[in-house]
């Protein structure tokens, strides 16, 4: 597959395998991403997509295989991976909930600044300058994603869609060469999804390669130059949108049984239907975890309200 | 409050607790407040056996002063009901809660006094008419305030902060500064008064606590605290300087060096708590063995102090060198403990630090020449530590500045104040920087923080080391203040203050992640058992109860970090960022308020 020259290869994962005890979540997956590319990673729930991302970013140490970024092999340490130039977002949003929107993005700039404790205590001109530049850069990013007007809000108080955007801004703050997005449109309405599509294109136009996991097939096929399909930890197929859409095995994988002699044009619909289900299940799971505390707070509210009216 | 009823008469439908017309309520409040004030100029009991001597006609004393203050506060807030010009600022929302709380403060003081006299002296016959007047008048005022209309009409409404507080009128800058100055002066007066109550007058101190708690609450409910912190934030440098000036004035107001001793100890534990706040409040690492770092600093300073009981008795470092030695020793100890343990998360870290804290004490006990090499003199500790000399000034001697005598403890108080100022500056600068943000990020979500490029271990180790060296710095002074050091206090929990549980409680009680919080927490936790000697036996129990109540009713601590406050009270629309963080407004004296 590597027709591009090595300098153009941003990410090269070869033979990545991840075992949890007896379970092999990712089995010998190879994947390359080149500069200027948007690559999609799809697959049914539990296929190992997120696990693969975690292997790429050093959150998991792969059992086998290696990951290299622009020709250098990455150590499996998250902060070194980010420093090298790979940034990511999380499937279940992991913002710093009690920091402001601006502060979240500033944390993202951690690897691109180096002021330590001493310069913070002494506050020399170098420190002030670095701090001012960071703020400026962070505000630019917030403008880019359209959240500049909420810079001083606590990130936990943002609506869901904006939280996902903020996660992207925070990742971009580390000035990456490759951005990994784990289900960036989960829980979004159609308009927000369209907006995210535009955002991903804009990011690509900044010269940042993108690898994106998504259950929304239209989103993936609109966006991606190449799509890889992961099923039960193994890469089933990789190719352009058309190739993947037309492949019987993909449909079989989503529906769980061989799908023989199906007419070509229904293939996409079938996958979409299956995906819609998966996405639903997914969104449900997401909202469950994300909104449980909020729901609790609401019941607490209701109680106090009751007490008040008594 | 037997008159409690939520039913309202047909004629008047505004919800209230006591069904009386508004005009009657106003009259009751005014009469009650004036009556309370007048009663404090009468005799409350016939004998001066009761603490504070309440027998005099003509001027108030002891608890009467407190009742007078409560009465004046009620009157001041009550006058806002008549729309007296120039007083509207006191209760901008014209809310009932501040009034009810102010009246409750006077009521609490008067009734507590009456009952205390009866209990101490054996029966109500010991009460003079003044006491009856005070009790009756304060009750009348309280009933009057409870007849004021509130949105809900339940007792809770009389405790809550007003909701629609109109924005403050834009004062001229000098007036703003004047307001900050006045508030700081008030805080200094309150603190000085409290610390000046003689140790044997527990009754007076309880009355003082009742008044301060309810009075502060009243001002908070009126929205005055929010306004004050907004002003403070606007004049940050001014407010901070003023706070430290006020703290520096404190020893001059004390004729008794004993109070300066309490003051310096409060500063020491407050500073150490602030160091712990870096670790617990900012970075979110639960350290249960923090007192050990204080111990290391104290011992290091004691060893190089030139004491004849020190292993290195010939060595006597100047103070600056001793301070650096103490800091360095704590820093090394912090790194040694942190390096293996900071790879653990959450509960595991807490348990391991608890263990290391105990190991320090046990090791110091064993390095006595019998069970180990003689370094620390074992449980006997290092005694007769000479006083610090700075610029040829021996801090052990009293010095004269104009008409004021600065005693030994006052000297140390001033030295410690400088150190507290340095630590506050370090805390503020560190927390508002790249490293501070990475600490908070680790606290919020360690996985996401590492994925953002933060080297979690390194950053946590820096926090741990910084926290340790700040404790070590404070320890170097504490070695000299206390004349001697021994291993006993540096344990997890005990009845003598600088133990790990005490420090942690100070941080949690005051407010995690803030500057004022730990200092306020340390002040309260140190001062209350000091003044209420009968409580000392139950100190740990009282601690536990206080913390449980705190966690139930105000989990973010007394002074809330803006972030924390939002975390725990989800429904408050506080995220609108108009006022800046009030927690960066430093204040050692504000801690007394
Ligand atoms: N830390 C872990 N320990 C054990 N098993 C794990 C762990 N992480 C993931 N798994 C397992 O690995 C498999 C792949 O999970 P993964 O989260 O990567 O799926 P996914 O493709 O991202 O699914 P989804 O579309 O639902 O996000 C699942 O069976 C999951 O239970
Ligand atoms: Mg996933």
| pLDDT tens figures, A61-106 | 999 999 999 989 999 899 999 999 999 999 999 999 989 999 999 9
B554/B571 Cα distance (integer angstroms):
14
Query: HSE on the CB side for A5, CA within 13 Å?
Result: 2
Residue with the smallest CA separation from ligand 1 atom 7 is: A20
Residue B405 counted as domain residue: yes
Please indicate, yes or no, whether residues B272 and B356 belong to a single structural domain of this protein. yes
Residue B573 counted as domain residue: no
**Nearest-5° angle of CA B95, CA B100, CA B103?**
135
> Between A and B, how many residue pairs show a Cβ–Cβ distance under 8 A?
129
Residue with the smallest CA separation from ligand 1 atom 14 is: A48
Give the per-residue pLDDT at A74. 92
Please indicate, yes or no, whether residues B229 and B112 belong to a single structural domain of this protein. yes
Give the per-residue pLDDT at B172. 83
**A297 touching chain B per CB within 8 A:** yes
Which residues form the domain of B143? 4-236
Please indicate, yes or no, whether residues B232 and B259 belong to a single structural domain of this protein. no
pLDDT in 10s for each residue of chain B, 593 residues: 334 444 434 344 567 777 778 888 888 999 999 999 988 888 888 888 888 778 778 888 888 889 999 999 999 988 888 878 778 788 887 888 888 999 999 999 999 999 998 888 888 888 888 889 999 999 999 998 888 887 777 777 788 887 777 777 777 888 888 988 998 899 899 988 988 888 888 889 999 999 999 999 998 888 888 888 888 878 888 888 888 898 888 888 877 788 888 899 999 999 999 999 999 999 999 888 899 999 999 999 999 887 777 777 777 888 899 899 999 999 999 999 889 888 887 788 888 889 988 999 999 888 887 787 877 888 888 888 888 888 877 787 877 777 787 888 888 899 999 999 999 999 999 999 999 999 999 999 999 999 999 999 999 999 999 999 999 999 999 989 888 888 888 888 777 778 888 888 888 888 888 888 899 999 988 888 888 877 777 777 877 888 788 888 777 777 776 654 544 544 443 333 333 333 333 333 333 33
Question: Helix, strand or coil for residue B404?
Answer: strand
Residue B590 counted as domain residue: no
Q: Which residues of B399-409 are buried (b: 16+ CB within 10 A; e: fewer)?
A: eeeeeeebbbb
Instruction: Collect all residues of chain A within an 8 Å Cβ-Cβ radius of residue B438.
Output: 107, 110
- Domain ranges in chain A are 2-308
Identity of the residue in B154, B462, B577 whose CB atom sits nearest the CB atom of A308: B154
Nearest-Cα distance to chain B for A236, in Å, is: 28
**A290 touching chain B per CB within 8 A:** no
Q: Are B105 and B221 in contact (CB under 8 A)?
A: no
Identity of the residue in B440, B453, B455 whose CB atom sits nearest the CB atom of A96: B440
Residue B216 counted as domain residue: yes
Identity of the residue in A98, A106, A310 whose CB atom sits nearest the CB atom of B566: A98
pLDDT in tens, A196-206: 999 999 999 99
Please indicate, yes or no, whether residues B271 and B226 belong to a single structural domain of this protein. no
Q: Which residue of B has its CA nearest to A180?
A: B451
Please indicate, yes or no, whether residues B307 and B386 belong to a single structural domain of this protein. yes
B357/B527 Cα distance (integer angstroms):
25
Q: pTM to 2 decimals? A: 0.83
Give the per-residue pLDDT at A195. 92
Residue B241 counted as domain residue: no
Instruction: Collect all residues of chain A within an 8 Å Cβ-Cβ radius of residue B423.
Output: none
User: CA distances (Å), B185 to each of A100, A149, B86, B209, B231, in order?
Assistant: 34, 39, 21, 19, 15
Identity of the residue in B152, B154, B440 whose CB atom sits nearest the CB atom of A99: B440
B232/B239 Cα distance (integer angstroms):
6
Give the per-residue pLDDT at A307. 37
Please indicate, yes or no, whether residues B14 and B155 belong to a single structural domain of this protein. yes
**Structurally, what CATH architecture does the domain formed by A2-308 represent?**
3-Layer(aba) Sandwich (3.40)
B349/B288 Cα distance (integer angstroms):
9
A3/A8 Cα distance (integer angstroms):
10
Q: Which atom of ligand 1 is nearest to the CA of A281?
A: 26
Q: What is the dihedral of CA B576, B580, B582, B583, to 10 degrees?
A: 100
**Mean pLDDT value across residues A24-28:** 93
Q: How far is the CA of A17 from the centre of ligand 1 (A)?
A: 13
CB-CB under 8 Å, A98 with B441: no
Ligand 1 surroundings by CB, under 6 angstroms:
A 20, 23, 25, 43, 45-51, 91, 282
Measured CB to CB, residues of chain B less than 8 Å from chain A are 6, 152, 154, 156-157, 426, 429-430, 432-438, 440-441, 444-445, 447-456, 462, 466, 563-564, 566-567, 570-571, 575, 577
Confidence of residue A301 (pLDDT cuts 50, 70, 90): very low
Please indicate, yes or no, whether residues B214 and B328 belong to a single structural domain of this protein. no
Which ligand sits nearest to residue A90's alpha carbon? 2
Residue B576 counted as domain residue: no
Give the per-residue pLDDT at B422. 94
Q: How far is the CA of A181 from the centre of ligand 2 (A)?
A: 10
pLDDT top residue among A108 and B544: A108
B79/B158 Cα distance (integer angstroms):
18
Identity of the residue in B437, B453, B566 whose CB atom sits nearest the CB atom of A111: B453
> Tell me, what's the ipTM?
0.82
* A 14-73 residues with CB < 8 A to B: 57, 59
CB-count exposure of residue B37 (10 Å: 0-12, 13-18, 19+): buried
CB-CB under 8 Å, B430 with A117: yes
- Mutate which of A19, A47, A214, A277 for ligand 1? The one with the most ligand atoms within 8 Å of its CB, which is A47
Residue with the smallest CA separation from ligand 1 atom 12 is: A25
Please indicate, yes or no, whether residues B292 and B167 belong to a single structural domain of this protein. no
Confidence of residue A256 (pLDDT cuts 50, 70, 90): low
A159/B421 Cα distance (integer angstroms):
41
Give the per-residue pLDDT at A56. 94
Residue B489 counted as domain residue: yes
DSSP code for B537: G
Residues in contact with B78: Cβ distance below 8 Å, sequence separation at least 6, in sequence order: B26, B29, B30, B33, B99, B141
Give the residue from A78, A122, A299 with the most B CB atoms within 10 Å of its CB, the best one to mutate. Answer: A78
Total domains present in chain B: 2
B371/B366 Cα distance (integer angstroms):
5
CB-CB under 8 Å, A294 with B449: no
Residue B396 counted as domain residue: yes
Give the per-residue pLDDT at B333. 92
A164/A170 Cα distance (integer angstroms):
10
Q: How far is the CA of A100 from the centre of ligand 2 (A)?
A: 27
Q: How many residues does chain A have?
A: 310
Confidence of residue A257 (pLDDT cuts 50, 70, 90): low
Confidence of residue A174 (pLDDT cuts 50, 70, 90): very high
Identity of the residue in A117, A170, A294 whose CB atom sits nearest the CB atom of B452: A170
- Mutate which of A25, A62, A278 for ligand 1? The one with the most ligand atoms within 8 Å of its CB, which is A25
Which ligand sits nearest to residue A45's alpha carbon? 1
Question: Helix, strand or coil for residue B417?
Answer: helix
Please indicate, yes or no, whether residues B395 and B304 belong to a single structural domain of this protein. yes
Give the per-residue pLDDT at A300. 40
Instruction: Collect all residues of chain A within an 8 Å Cβ-Cβ radius of residue B156.
Output: 307-308
**A180 touching chain B per CB within 8 A:** no
pLDDT for A177 beyond 80: yes
B124/B169 Cα distance (integer angstroms):
50
């Amino acid at each position: 597959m590597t027709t591009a020259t090595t300098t153009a290869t941003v990410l090269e994962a070869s033979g990545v395998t991840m075992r949890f005890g007896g379970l092999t979540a990712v089995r010998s997956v190879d994947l390359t991403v080149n500069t200027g590319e948007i690559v999609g990673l799809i697959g049914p729930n539990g296929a190992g997509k997120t696990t693969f991302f975690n292997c790429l970013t050093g959150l998991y140490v792969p059992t086998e295989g290696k990951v290299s970024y622009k020709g250098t092999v990455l150590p499996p340490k998250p902060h070194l991976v980010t420093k090298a130039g790979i940034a990511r977002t999380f499937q279940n949003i992991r913002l710093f909930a009690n920091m402001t929107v601006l502060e979240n993005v500033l944390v993202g700039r951690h690897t691109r600044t180096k002021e330590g404790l001493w310069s913070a205590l002494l506050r020399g001109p170098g420190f002030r300058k670095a701090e001012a530049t960071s703020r400026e850069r962070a505000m630019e990013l917030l403008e880019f994603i359209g959240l500049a007007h909420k810079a001083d809000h606590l990130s936990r108080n943002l609506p869901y869609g904006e939280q996902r955007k903020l996660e992207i801004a925070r990742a971009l703050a580390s000035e990456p060469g490759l951005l990994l997005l784990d289900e960036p449109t989960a829980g979004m309405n159609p308009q927000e999804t369209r907006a995210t599509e535009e955002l991903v294109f804009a990011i690509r136009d900044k010269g940042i390669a993108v690898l994106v996991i998504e259950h929304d097939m239209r989103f993936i096929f609109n966006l991606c130059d190449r799509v890889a399909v992961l099923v039960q930890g193994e890469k089933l197929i990789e190719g352009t949108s058309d190739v993947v859409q037309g492949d019987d095995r993909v449909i079989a994988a989503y529906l769980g049984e061989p799908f023989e002699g199906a007419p070509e044009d229904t293939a996409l619909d079938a996958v979409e239907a299956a995906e819609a289900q998966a996405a639903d299940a997914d969104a449900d799971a997401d909202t469950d975890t994300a909104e449980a505390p909020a729901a609790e707070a609401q019941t607490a509210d209701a109680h106090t309200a009751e007490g008040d009216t008594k | 409050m037997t008159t409690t009823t939520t039913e309202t008469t047909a004629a008047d439908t505004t919800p209230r607790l006591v069904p009386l017309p508004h005009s009657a309520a106003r009259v009751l409040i005014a009469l009650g407040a004036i009556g309370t004030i007048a009663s404090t100029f009468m005799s409350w009991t016939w004998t001066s056996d009761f603490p504070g001597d309440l027998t005099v006609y003509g001027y108030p004393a002891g608890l009467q002063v407190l009742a007078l203050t409560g009465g004046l506060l009620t009157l001041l807030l009550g006058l806002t009901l008549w729309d007296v010009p120039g007083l509207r600022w006191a209760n901008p929302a014209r809310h009932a809660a501040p009034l009810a709380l102010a009246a409750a403060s006077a009521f609490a003081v008067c009734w507590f006094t009456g009952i205390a006299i009866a209990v101490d002296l054996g029966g109500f016959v010991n009460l003079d008419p003044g006491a009856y007047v005070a009790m009756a008048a304060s009750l009348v005022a309280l009933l009057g305030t409870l007849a004021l209309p509130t949105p809900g009409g339940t007792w809770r409404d009389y405790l809550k902060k007003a909701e629609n507080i109109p924005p403050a009128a834009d004062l001229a800058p000098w007036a703003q500064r004047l307001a900050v100055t006045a508030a700081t002066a008030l805080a200094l007066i309150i603190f000085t008064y409290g610390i000046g109550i003689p140790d044997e007058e527990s009754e007076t101190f309880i009355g003082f606590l009742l008044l301060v708690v309810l009075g502060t609450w009243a001002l908070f409910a009126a929205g005055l605290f929010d306004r004050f912190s907004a002003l403070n934030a606007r004049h940050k440098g001014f407010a901070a300087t003023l706070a430290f000036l006020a703290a520096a004035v404190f020893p001059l107001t004390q004729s008794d060096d004993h109070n300066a001793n309490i003051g310096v100890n409060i500063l020491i534990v407050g500073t150490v708590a602030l160091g712990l706040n870096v670790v617990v409040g900012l970075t979110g690492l639960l350290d249960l063995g923090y007192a050990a770092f204080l111990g290391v600093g104290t011992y290091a300073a004691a060893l190089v102090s030139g004491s004849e009981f020190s292993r290195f008795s010939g060595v006597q470092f100047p103070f600056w060198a001793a301070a650096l030695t103490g800091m360095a020793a704590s820093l090394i100890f912090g790194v040694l403990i942190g390096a293996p343990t900071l790879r653990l998360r959450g509960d595991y870290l807490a348990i391991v630090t608890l263990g290391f804290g105990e190991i320090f004490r046990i090791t110091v006990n064993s390095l006595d020449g019998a069970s180990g090499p003689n370094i620390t003199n074992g449980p006997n500790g290092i005694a007769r530590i000479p006083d610090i000399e700075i610029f040829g000034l021996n801090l052990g001697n009293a010095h004269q500045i104009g008409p004021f005598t600065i005693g030994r403890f006052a000297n140390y108080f001033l030295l410690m104040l400088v150190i507290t100022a340095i630590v506050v500056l370090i805390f503020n600068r560190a927390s508002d920087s790249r490293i501070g943000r990475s600490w908070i990020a680790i606290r919020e979500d360690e996985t996401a923080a590492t994925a953002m490029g933060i080297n979690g271990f390194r950053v946590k180790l820096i926090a741990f080391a910084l926290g340790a060296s700040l404790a070590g710095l404070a320890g170097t002074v504490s070695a000299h203040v206390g004349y001697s050091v021994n291993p006993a206090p540096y344990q997890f929990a005990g009845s003598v203050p600088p133990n790990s549980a005490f420090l942690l409680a100070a941080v949690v009680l005051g407010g995690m992640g803030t500057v004022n919080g730990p200092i306020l927490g340390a002040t309260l936790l140190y001062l209350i058992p000091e003044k209420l000697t009968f409580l000392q036996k139950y100190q740990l129990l009282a601690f536990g109860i206080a913390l449980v109540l705190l966690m139930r009713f105000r989990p973010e601590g007394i002074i809330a970090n803006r972030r924390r406050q939002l975390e725990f009270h989800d429904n408050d629309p506080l995220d609108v960022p108009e006022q800046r963080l009030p927690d960066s407004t430093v204040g050692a004296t504000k801690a007394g308020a």
